[in-house]
């Protein structure tokens, strides 16, 4: 464990908790976290995860804009469910990206876990996009991904990061509950 990993993990907990609470400060704090994790993942040859952090940086800005822009009928974006067709399309896009990235990492790099890392990356991008759009299903996908991430990080001896992602999974359960409850109250 490095000081950099500890600082990034601390910011991660804060950012995800703020996301559950629908506080837009989750996005700039998350931006700093993902930039720090870029270096952490480079150091352990999880290149897909490293690239994922770069894309997350862009999505952090997108999420901040989505959550804070003013619309004509509403002041901020509200939580919604994703319809079945877009949900399936998102999962298909995640699978396609996972296969393409996995093949590239397996053939062109010395990545430690090219296929698993690529799959987690592809589907994490889908979950992050859904989160930026305040789609309630993002939390269910995050729960699955976070549990798998924990195993990968234990394997790579990133124990603090594994603990962070276990905490992310628990926070994601809370996020699902709170966002689902908010939607039920609006009906």
Domain ranges of the chain: 3-71+84-186
Sorting pLDDT into bands at 50, 70 and 90, what band is 70? low
- Phi/psi-derived region of residue 23, left when phi > 0, alpha when psi is between -120 and 50, beta in every other case: beta
Q: How many residues in total does the chain contain?
A: 187
If you average pLDDT over residues 156-180, what whole number do you get?
Answer: 92
**pLDDT, position 112:** 87
Contact criterion met (CB below 8 Å) for 112 and 145: no
Q: What is the pLDDT of residues 72-115, one digit of tens each?
A: 545 567 889 999 999 999 999 999 999 999 999 999 999 989 99
% of the chain with per-residue pLDDT over 70: 96
- Quick: pLDDT tens for 16-56: 999 989 999 999 999 999 999 999 999 988 898 899 899 99
User: What average pLDDT does the segment 158-180 reach?
Assistant: 93
Tell me, what's the pLDDT at 76?
Answer: 67
| Long-range contact pairs involving 165-172 (C-beta distance under 8 Å, separation at least 24) | 167/13, 168/12, 168/13, 168/16, 168/142, 169/142, 169/143, 171/13, 171/16, 171/17, 171/20, 172/16, 172/139, 172/142, 172/143, 172/146
What's the pLDDT score for residue 105? 94
């Amino acid at each position: 464990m490095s000081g950099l990993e500890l600082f990034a993990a601390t910011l991660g907990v804060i950012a995800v908790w703020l996301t559950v609470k629908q506080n837009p400060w989750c996005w700039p704090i998350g931006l700093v976290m993902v930039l720090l994790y870029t270096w952490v993942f480079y150091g352990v040859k999880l290149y897909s995860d490293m690239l994922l952090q770069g894309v997350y940086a862009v999505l952090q800005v997108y999420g901040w804009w989505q959550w804070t822009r003013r619309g004509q009928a509403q002041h901020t974006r509200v939580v919604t469910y994703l319809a079945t067709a877009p949900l399936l399309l998102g999962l298909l896009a995640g699978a396609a990206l996972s296969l393409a990235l996995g093949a590239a990492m397996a053939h062109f790099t010395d990545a430690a876990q090219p296929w698993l890392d690529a799959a987690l990356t592809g589907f994490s991008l889908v979950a992050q996009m859904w989160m930026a759009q305040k789609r309630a299903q993002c939390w269910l996908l995050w729960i699955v991904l976070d549990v798998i991430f924990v195993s990968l990080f234990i394997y790579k001896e990133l124990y603090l990061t594994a603990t962070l992602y276990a905490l992310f999974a628990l926070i994601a359960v809370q996020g699902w509950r709170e966002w689902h409850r908010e939607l039920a109250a609006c009906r």
